[in-house]
A and B are shown apart, each in its own frame.
Chain A
Amino acid sequence: MTKAIIGSPETRLRDAVKRRIAARYRAEFRFRLYGMIAIALTALFLLIVLVDILLKGLPAFTVHQFRFDVPVVLADIDPAKAKDPEVLRGADYQALVRDALRSHFPEVKDRVGRRRLDGLISSGASDTLRHQVVADPSLVGKTLSIAALVSADAELYFKGTGTAIDRKPGASTISVSGQEGPVTLSTSGSDFSEWAKAYRQRYAKLGEKLDAEVPSLLVALNGGLVKVNEISAGNISGEVLLPLKSAGDAQAGAWQLVTYLTPESNRRVKDREVAWLEALRAKGIVERSFNWRFFTSGDSREAELAGIRGALVGSALTLLVTLLICLPLGVAAAIYLEEFAPKNRATELIEVNINNLAAVPSIVFGLLGLAVFLNFFGLPRSAPLVGGLVLALLVLPTIIIASRAALKAVPPSIKEAALGVGASHQQAVFHHVLPLAMPGILTGTIIGMAHALGETAPLLMIGMVAFIVAPATSVTDAATVLPVQIYLWSDLPEIGFQAKTAAAIIVLLIFLFVMNGAAIYLRKKFERRW
């Protein structure tokens, strides 16, 4: 029976069909595979970008401060004069903070040393002290515990971009010639020659003189720190960075060879500053806290003082203007076009143009804003009002298209039902169609707003690229917006701004995610099936 069938046309046909089905399954599998590869690649790149931004940006959300007890004794202000807020505001609080820091290192008397020491605290370190005293003049004459912001360089050092430090206990007895200034060290063992041997492998230039091109060697003994400048046979000379408590010998194990692994010429904080910062850290004066200032202060030329408040306020004001213009205008236009406009050449032309408008590069809107709003109407430059107007032009087509789609998605049966019980056309639209289309319209609006939030180019054209410290208080004040702030910071040479840029990007991304999330939530929540 089976034999008879083999080779019959039906069997051959069946086999061919089977083969074709197998080929179809393979094709389907390949297609799925390509899709998965594409998605995996996209996800990978996204992950890389996100991880990179997070790694760079997260440190900017913490900040280091020195905790000082500062006696508020102002040279030109006695408690009697302290009643005048102008005088109080104008006083030199920075000097108080400086003095507090210098009190930890009384040995630093030279001008260069003092300037370097002062350089460890930020120029904005006294801001909180000033605010406190101005707010409460009775504090004059009292001692306050304040947190002084460290400088950008010190901040970077604390975040680990300075140098790695290697500490090795001394194996023999060491003696030192003095407590301050240039000293000579002598040791009974071979600690120094072994050190030199160990580092010569990597630094061929390492000779008897230790210059800035090789790792710095320091000796911690007797509660002080000596920087070694020369290692020659039997003569080890150096300079005291932190004064020693005594000039006596230090036994084996009681002293340490300290190595700053990054050569001094390769870092912004020099050996002396590292020594101070480490000393301060050892004293427990350095505090680490969340960087509220990033959100509460405006832009600054100093990386440690710069914040995004100005940009946030600017973005908020700009988006507010955009929303106030876009939503009513866009929805009204969409309703008219979708429900009331006669279908003829003119409306078709308008429709095509709205769709085209959505595809116009944003820079063109910037130029338009420059020409129309600034030059023709004479509106203030750099203002959120103009920015909002320009972004409104940019987003309007998106909102009109989204709203029309949402209106179109409402089944005509609902409108017919309303008309059928005698509602007028307008009643049918406003009582039934519009409420049902509203979630879609809002989703479109939020996505449009998110688009506007991230837009940079047109705002550059209307001058929102200015350096503005004070956050705007009205829509006509000069302001900048988040993406422009990012653009500005990314251009700055200071290393401290790299982290700020990444942090600002994180903030912007969070806002975008939240807005898109809100759009998705709205869509899911009000999604309706007919």
Chain B
Amino acid sequence: MEMIVNPPQALSRAKDVDLMQTPKIVARNVNVHYGDKHALKDVSVDIGEKSVTAFIGPSGCGKSTFLRCINRMNDTIPSAKVTGEILIDKDDIYDPSLDVVQLRARVGMVFQKPNPFPKSIFENVAYGPRIHGLAGSKTELEEIVHRSLKRAGLWEEVKDRLGDSGTGLSGGQQQRLCIARAIAVSPEIILMDEPCSALDPIATARIEELIDELRENFTIIIVTHSMQQAARVSQRTAFFHLGVLVEEGTTETIFTNPTERRTQDYITGRFG
């Protein structure tokens, strides 16, 4: 029986002060409008490198909107207008000279519902490296696929059936395949938009374990509706409400002793 271990350090007194000294992502006064709707209001936040940051908040609070600003996924929505500044390693990602395709290679994304391409497992992972020309030869490509699946903890389960369709896997496996697909292009940041909301607790635990492992190499931002999940996997937590970033701090503080009344009311289930 394999033990599914949740990161104990998430709630430990790990001091992450130095984590924030060189933030990976710096957002300043980010506003998002969908047509007339002001979806995100003046969000300013720093996100530390090689750590997990959780965005929590009620539905429609802007957490997913903000997440999708970081890889400019909002560009695909015609009515969306983003203002403000988001810097990744001091580069403004909304600079007109910045190539959005290049940005998305640096900022991978995992979606709420597992969405593997209806192709083989191999092709799913190989697609990103192939379009970016990351592999010079077939062997290199195989190497990348192998490594990505291994890092996503899926290799052992699929190594004998790489040619099978990705959609034939179980929900949890599909989501790990999506994570493998995201890390195959060697991003610096991985955005996860409620990655476990469609999964059972065991599959969720596997993903959480994976997130904790990936933290060594990637900066991870996870949007989640499960406060327990945020508490388990993240080092820092940001609480959004009605398009406003209400509070951001170490996960431990947010979940035991939040400063803001709204945060307290939300995480203790007192919203009325």
Contacts and interface: CB of A to CB of B under 8 A. Distances in A.
Task: Decide if A and B touch, CB cutoff 8 A.
Answer: yes
Interface stretch (B44-52, B114-122, B136-144, B152-160): B114-122
Interface stretch (A31-39, A79-87, A422-430): A422-430
A422 B102 contact: yes
Contacts of B104: 419-422
A416 B78 contact: no
Contacts of A416: 73, 76, 109, 111, 115
8 contacts: A413-B113, A416-B76, A418-B117, A421-B128, A421-B181, A422-B102, A424-B101, A431-B131
Contacts of A422: 101-102, 104-105, 128, 131-132, 185
Interface of B: 71, 73, 76, 78, 101-102, 104-105, 108-111, 113, 115-118, 127-128, 131-132, 178, 181-182, 184-185
A169 interface: no
The 8 residue pairs across chains A and B that have the minimum distance between CB atoms: A421-B128, A413-B115, A422-B105, A420-B109, A422-B104, A417-B115, A422-B101, A424-B101
Contact of B78 (A342, A415, A423): A342
B222 to A, nearest CB: 15
B127 A414 contact: no
A414 B113 CA distance: 10
A383 B160 CA distance: 58
Contact of A417 (B78, B117, B132): B117
A421 B110 CA distance: 9
A432 B166 CA distance: 14
B145 to A, nearest CB: 13
Interface residues of A, number: 21
Nearest to A423: B131
A207 interface: no
Contacts of A345: none
Given A421-B182, A422-B102, A423-B101, A413 B111 contact: yes
Nearest to B112: A413
Nearest to A436: B118
Contacts of B117: 414, 417-418, 432
Contacts of A421: 104-105, 108, 127-128, 131, 181-182, 184-185
A72 B114 CA distance: 81
A528 B104 CA distance: 28
A417 B108 contact: no
Contact of A427 (B71, B110, B131): B131
Nearest to B71: A420
Given A416-B73, A417-B117, A432-B117, 9 more contacts: A414-B117, A417-B116, A417-B178, A420-B110, A421-B127, A421-B185, A422-B132, A423-B128, A528-B118
A343 interface: yes
Nearest to A416: B111
Given A431-B127, A436-B118, A420 B108 contact: yes
A359 B138 CA distance: 52
A418 B127 contact: yes
A361 interface: no
A419 B73 contact: yes
Contacts of A411: 115
A414 B108 contact: no
Contacts of A425: 76
A420 B101 contact: no
Interface in A311-332: none
A342 B181 CA distance: 30
Contact of B182 (A415, A420, A432): A420
Nearest to B109: A420
A413 B132 CA distance: 21
A420 B131 contact: no
A411 B104 CA distance: 20
A417 B181 contact: yes
A416 B117 CA distance: 10
A342 B79 CA distance: 10
A427 B104 CA distance: 14
Nearest to A424: B101
Nearest to A342: B78
Contacts of A528: 118
Nearest to B72: A419
A486 B184 CA distance: 62
B187 to A, nearest CB: 9
Contacts of B127: 418, 421, 423, 431
A528 B117 CA distance: 12
A431 B105 CA distance: 17
B73 A420 contact: yes
Contacts of B110: 420
B151 to A, nearest CB: 15
A419 B76 CA distance: 9
Contacts of B102: 422
Interface in A384-440: 411, 413-425, 427, 431-432, 436
B74 to A, nearest CB: 11
Given A342-B78, A343-B78, A528-B118, A417 B111 contact: yes
Contacts of B108: 420-421
Contacts of B118: 414, 436, 528
A420 to B, nearest CB: 4
A528 B165 CA distance: 13
A342 to B, nearest CB: 7
A529 to B, nearest CB: 9
A101 B113 CA distance: 82
A342 B116 CA distance: 28
B131 to A, nearest CB: 6
Q: Which of B108, B115, B116, B178 has the most CB of A within 10 A?
A: B115
Contacts of B78: 342-343
Q: Which of A415, A420, A427, A528 has the most CB of B within 10 A?
A: A420
B82 to A, nearest CB: 16
Interface in A473-530: 528
